[in-house]
């Protein structure tokens, strides 16, 4: 089995075909969860599952499974592969879709090679990973892992006022299976990195050993609006300056540490936002991430200490609102080592790395050993039509998945 490889053409053709579904007249690709475009994408996927002779199962939250089961392994827990096929607005064609179609490709390759797995192998396309239309993101995998009730999830009201359950029923993907019906033996997700590390370092395979914890906060600083010309520097309570100090603090602290902590201030606004008025209010977001929960807590504490000190020094009032908080996820060491071993077996460099973005794998990791394989994203670009991974890298990643699956399904 070690010499088999996936059918590159079939994988790339399907990726391109799926990437045309939901593309508007203006050329932009958008397949939001539960939309007509999502239905069309799901229909294509299901037709490919059926063409490959897989058993198709759909659960109540709309997760689609293609299961390859043999009479002799039907009693075993399946090895689960997967990702998602919903997209953001104006998306690229790789995010999620690559993992789903490569998983299908791996299963077809094994079937065609008459490989006899010791357990079923299944591919999943989880509902609403992107969370653009319905919050939270990674919803289908979260429900599958039992972290959110199916009925609660189905009642979610979208940004357009629709209800997810009604939309899934409308497009024919409110399935019969109870979420979580498939208990995986292990879970592997192949994905584009969506970051620049592999591309910059010219490493084709990422063996993803963990996934960052995320802390999102909104900071509001209240000072005092005054005339920019008539108020001496010593008499100011400048909320905008205080915000600048926080932005510099976060970046400088993360930049000079030897930890993988990343800190980002992505949104900001000043009030009254007039050229000749000292800002009375500055509001900005803080995105802190770290693969280590203890360190993430320390970074949150360091920010809180800084804000407290700043409030005193600048005579401003600072309030903080927590927007989101996810603990880091540690993936299964055994699977990560299998990924590295598979890369060595194909003469490919591999790098142990951390996922900076959220993925379905972090949800399934709650109920089964899990890990991820990354392939390079050119310039780290994702959630954008310029999202790109070379055909060579796409094929290499799928072959590593093939080898890992063959190993994990062997017993």
Nearer to a copy of itself, 25 or 233 (CB): 233
Which range of residues in 63-71, 75-83, 228-236, 395-403 is near a copy of itself by CB under 8 A? Answer: 228-236
Instruction: Kindly state the smallest distance separating residue 262's Cβ from a copy of itself, in Å.
Output: 6
Q: Nearest Cα to 180, choosing from 117, 101, 126, 103?
A: 126
The pattern of x and - marking residues 332 through 361 that bind a copy of itself according to CB under 8 A reads -----------------------xxxx---
Using CB under 8 A as the binding rule, whether residue 240 contacts a copy of itself is answered as yes
In the numeric block, the tokens 């990973």 are attached to: 129
Letter string b/e over residues 119-156, b meaning 16 or more CB atoms within 10 A of that residue's CB: bbbbbbbbbbbbbbbbeebbbbbbbbbeebebeebbeb
Nearer to a copy of itself, 287 or 332 (CB): 287
Binding a copy of itself (rule: CB under 8 A), the pick from 89, 157, 323, 349 is 323
In the numeric block, the tokens 């060491």 are attached to: 333
Q: Nearest Cα to 350, choosing from 375, 387, 385, 313?
A: 375
Nearer to a copy of itself, 47 or 273 (CB): 273
Instruction: Kindly state the smallest distance separating residue 197's Cβ from a copy of itself, in Å.
Output: 7
Q: Which two structure tokens, joined as six digits, stand for 345? A: 């077996």
Which range of residues in 1-9, 141-149, 187-195, 340-348 is near a copy of itself by CB under 8 A? Answer: 187-195
Q: Are 92 and 382 in contact (CB under 8 A)?
A: yes
Angle at 371 between CA 369 and CA 373, to 5 degrees: 160
Using CB under 8 A as the binding rule, whether residue 289 contacts a copy of itself is answered as yes
Using CB under 8 A as the binding rule, whether residue 216 contacts a copy of itself is answered as yes
Binding a copy of itself (rule: CB under 8 A), the pick from 12, 113, 277, 378 is 277
Alpha-carbon span 8 to 394, nearest angstrom? 9
Q: Which two structure tokens, joined as six digits, stand for 75? A: 């009693």
Alpha-carbon span 152 to 154, nearest angstrom? 5
Peptide bond into 108 cis (omega under 30): no
Nearer to a copy of itself, 156 or 217 (CB): 217
Count CB-CB contacts under 10 A for residue 94: 21
Q: Rounded to 5 degrees, what are φ and ψ at 15?
A: -60, -45
Alpha-carbon span 217 to 172, nearest angstrom? 38
Alpha-carbon span 269 to 228, nearest angstrom? 18
Using CB under 8 A as the binding rule, whether residue 247 contacts a copy of itself is answered as yes
Which range of residues in 7-15, 97-105, 119-127, 189-197 is near a copy of itself by CB under 8 A? Answer: 189-197
Q: Rounded to 5 degrees, what are φ and ψ at 64?
A: -105, 130
Using CB under 8 A as the binding rule, whether residue 254 contacts a copy of itself is answered as yes
Instruction: Kindly state the smallest distance separating residue 358's Cβ from a copy of itself, in Å.
Output: 8
281-290 vs 121-125, strand pairing mode = unpaired
Binding a copy of itself (rule: CB under 8 A), the pick from 49, 263, 338, 371 is 263
Site size for a copy of itself (CB under 8 A) = 60
Alpha-carbon span 223 to 245, nearest angstrom? 14
Binding a copy of itself (rule: CB under 8 A), the pick from 27, 75, 232, 347 is 232
Nearer to a copy of itself, 3 or 227 (CB): 227
Nearer to a copy of itself, 74 or 274 (CB): 274
Which range of residues in 60-68, 125-133, 254-262, 363-371 is near a copy of itself by CB under 8 A? Answer: 254-262
Binding a copy of itself (rule: CB under 8 A), the pick from 44, 265, 311, 378 is 265
In the numeric block, the tokens 């059926």 are attached to: 50
Q: Which residues bind a copy of itself (CB under 8 A)?
A: 193-197, 200, 212, 214, 216, 226-235, 238, 240-241, 243-245, 247-248, 251, 254-255, 260-270, 273-279, 285, 287, 289, 323, 355-358, 380-383
């Amino acid at each position: 089995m070690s010499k088999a490889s996936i059918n590159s053409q079939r994988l790339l053709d399907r990726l391109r075909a799926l990437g045309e579904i939901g593309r508007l007249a203006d050329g932009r690709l958008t397949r939001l969860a539960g939309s007509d475009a999502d239905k069309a994408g799901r229909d294509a996927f299901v037709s490919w599952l059926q063409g490959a002779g897989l058993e198709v199962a759909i659960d109540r939250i709309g997760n689609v499974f293609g299961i390859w089961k043999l009479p002799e392994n039907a009693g075993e827990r399946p090895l689960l592969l997967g990702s998602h096929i919903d997209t953001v607005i104006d998306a690229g064609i790789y995010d999620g879709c690559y993992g789903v179609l490569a998983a299908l490709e791996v299963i077809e390759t094994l079937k065609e090679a008459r490989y006899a797995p010791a357990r079923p192998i299944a591919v999943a396309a989880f509902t609403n990973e992107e969370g653009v239309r319905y919050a939270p993101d990674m919803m289908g995998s979260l429900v599958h892992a039992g972290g959110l009730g199916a009925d609660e999830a189905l009642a979610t009201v979208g940004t357009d006022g629709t209800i997810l359950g009604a939309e899934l029923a409308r497009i024919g993907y409110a399935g019969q299976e109870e979420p979580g019906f498939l208990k995986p033996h292990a879970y592997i997700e192949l994905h584009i990195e969506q970051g620049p590390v592999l591309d910059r370092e010219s490493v084709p395979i990422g063996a993803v050993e963990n996934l960052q914890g995320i802390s999102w906060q909104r900071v509001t600083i209240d000072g005092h609006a005054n005339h920019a010309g008539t108020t001496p520097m010593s008499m100011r309570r400048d909320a905008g300056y205080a915000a600048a100090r926080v932005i510099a603090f976060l970046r400088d602290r993360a930049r000079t540490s030897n930890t993988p902590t990343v800190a980002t201030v992505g949104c900001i606004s000043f009030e009254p936002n007039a050229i000749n008025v000292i800002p009375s209010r500055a509001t900005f977001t803080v995105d802190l991430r770290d693969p280590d929960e203890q360190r993430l807590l320390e970074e949150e504490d360091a920010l809180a200490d800084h804000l407290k000190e700043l409030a005193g020094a600048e005579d401003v009032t600072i309030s903080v609102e927590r927007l989101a908080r996810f603990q880091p996820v540690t993936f299964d060491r055994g699977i990560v080592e299998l990924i590295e071993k598979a890369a060595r077996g194909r003469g490919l460099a591999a790098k142990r790395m951390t996922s900076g973005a959220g993925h379905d794998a972090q949800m399934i990791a709650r109920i089964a050993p899990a890990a991820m394989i990354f392939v390079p994203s050119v310039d780290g670009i994702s959630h954008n039509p310029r999202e790109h991974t070379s055909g060579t890298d796409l094929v290499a990643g799928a072959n590593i998945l093939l080898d890992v699956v063959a190993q994990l399904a062997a017993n």
